[in-house]
Amino acid sequence: MKENDVILRTVTRAVVFIILTFGVELFLSGHHNPGGGFVGGLVLSSALVLLYVVFDIETVHQGVPFDFRKIAAFGAVISLLSGTGAAVLGKPFLTQGFGYFDLPIFGLTELATVTIFEAGVALTVIGTVVTIILSISKDV
């Protein structure tokens, strides 16, 4: 049976970008305000899951051809290595640093190494959530 989901498909096309933007916003604001890699990752993965629900798995895979299990593992490696970097420099494991840089366009910007750690967390969350959803959907 083919469902009539024109409205859902049309809305999704627009909404996915809003969700993705919101996810990135949450991820970046996490440094000083509520948010961060975990929540940002959850929101980002909800956009992907919405795509999987509305279109089918094969179609989405053509657009996003990643093995999400590997993305999860890759994210965890990034997080671990960002902590190890401090150890290599002789600081306690997981020490984070930050500095202010004068960038073009952005002006004076605070850049912190914790963003790398959070990026790893976000990737792990995305990879894990999508893997879980895909594995559950396969069995049904």
By CB under 8 A, name the binding residues for another protein. Answer: 69-70, 73-74, 76-77, 80-81, 83-84, 86-87, 90-96
Residue closer to another protein (CB basis): 16 or 86 = 86
Q: To the nearest whole angstrom, how small is the minimum distance from the Cβ of residue 19 to another protein? A: 28
Here the tokens at position 131 are: 């893997």
Residue closer to another protein (CB basis): 15 or 134 = 134
CB 54 within 8 A of CB 12: yes
**Angstrom distance (rounded) from CA 75 to CA 122:** 7
Q: To the nearest whole angstrom, how small is the minimum distance from the Cβ of residue 140 to another protein? A: 19
Q: What are φ and ψ of residue 89, in 5° steps?
A: -85, 5
- Residues 50, 55, 57, 63, CA torsion sign: negative
Residue closer to another protein (CB basis): 92 or 107 = 92
Q: To the nearest whole angstrom, how small is the minimum distance from the Cβ of residue 92 to another protein? A: 5
Q: To the nearest whole angstrom, how small is the minimum distance from the Cβ of residue 105 to another protein? A: 31
In the DSSP assignment, the letter for residue 90 is: T
